[in-house]
Chain A
């Protein structure tokens, strides 16, 4: 089975590979670019909001730790 498969796929590679067209690739990647940009910008915006929320939370927590909690210092 492996021998047959091996020769079968190597034949595909040898004879059908050179006949493939690159136009479809270009078309596909143009569409892919548009879609991925939309996805990535959305993803980055969400993550940026999360990080900003974290930074605001930490700053508030540090403020509370520093000023509100009046524990005697030595």
Chain B
């Protein structure tokens, strides 16, 4: 064969050397085309599985790198670890690792297809057996992928996650492309949902017919699970004042992760205490979820009372929750989910504050934050501070001061000019803050005077703010 081609080439170059060679007389003596196809598919399957093995080895290296600590103090090590953990989420590490399994599935599909094709050339009966199994596998996989598009379906595959992500993106986007895709997929989705509904009904009837002949069973109604909306982070420009934002963000992310991950009440207490001590600036206010803190706080309560021995936990978690809610309500006062959450917690804190015999800053401050601001009238609930104990820790005072300032600001922002806003029992509260002899009150005064700009009524409020017993603006 090769010799024949050589003859043709030489003939093409120089006619005189090898005359009278007929190219059509040269016959193909290599493998038949089916075998070439089969071999190509087999090599494709081999290459896919080798690529999966390559990714698995790389994955081992990536995980080892994730486990490695950076040098430096413990806070730096932990912040570095938290950033790497956030990076895993941000860069879809788990999705990439899950795609290794998809590659293996693809390799198996290629292998099954190749085997069917090869056996088809030898014996069709045997080929049908392999082909039917392959088709069954492919069809099942396709159905499982489509069925697993809802988040809570257990048969998740990487393609179903991809479809879900794409559909969410298209649903929330309003570009022309997204609109056209929405329009086109609406009919398809309708057909699919009708098909699934009919299938479920038929399966239900079949099951009921098999289990209880003569009785009709209704299929349960699907429950739509609402996923919480993710708020966009806000950015603020503070000018020349410098703060270690990256460190702050890492701290808050560490707290957030720990509150999400752990179920140990002492660990939750420690995280909440650190959250109380951390100032929640607008840039980082949305990282901590008030829902998680609220669930931990409500975990300390039972039938309108604090669990025995959980008062300290309820206090600290309550203060952390008050800080987070307060700052988020300052930034987005009209946010519906925050308002709903506030209402539901308020119901519990009202009953708890009546049952707690001693001063409880966490419950008291929550009662203040959770009051819905109204125009005019009295700003009540300050009475919880009239018996503020001596020697309240500095962390608690800082938290209380911040939350009080933010709450007053929230109330003031909806008042029309010349409205008299009465802040009851503010005097004992301020007295209580200075009871320990530290300089928190002057700090508070300075903070207030610098945070309420020029209008004269505000300045007047600043002077009366720290003077007992009642403040009128």
Contact = CB atoms under 8 A, between A and B. Distances in A.
A14 B277 contact: no
A69 B398 contact: no
Contacts of B264: 35
A69 B115 contact: yes
A13 B443 contact: no
Interface stretch (B52-60, B356-364, B382-390): B52-60
A19 B261 contact: no
Interface stretch (B132-140, B208-216, B267-275, B335-343): B267-275
Contacts of A17: 243, 279
A41 B111 CA distance: 36
B30 interface: yes
Contacts of B255: 28
B279 A44 contact: no
A54 to B, nearest CB: 4
B277 A9 contact: no
B231 to A, nearest CB: 16
Contact of B101 (A4, A40, A54, A61): A54
Interface residues of A, number: 54
> Main secondary structure on chain A at its contact with chain B?
helix
B62 to A, nearest CB: 9
Interface string A3-23: 111111111111111011100
Interface residues of B, number: 80
A24 B274 CA distance: 6
Contacts of A65: 42, 45-46, 49, 111
A1 B453 CA distance: 11
Interface in A9-66: 9-17, 19-21, 24-33, 35-36, 39-41, 43-44, 47-48, 50-51, 54-55, 57-59, 61-62, 64-65
A35 B238 contact: no
Interface in B213-267: 236-239, 241, 243, 251, 254-255, 257-258, 261-262, 264, 267
A24 B67 contact: no
B413 interface: yes
A39 to B, nearest CB: 6
Interface stretch (B195-203, B288-296, B402-410): B402-410
Given A6-B236, A44-B66, A74 B31 contact: yes
Interface in B63-107: 63-64, 66-67, 74-75, 77-78, 81-82, 85, 97, 100-101, 104, 107
What are the 7 closest A-B residue pairs judged by CB atoms, nearest first? A28-B274, A11-B451, A8-B451, A58-B53, A54-B56, A51-B56, A74-B31
5 contacts: A4-B451, A29-B75, A36-B85, A54-B53, A71-B118
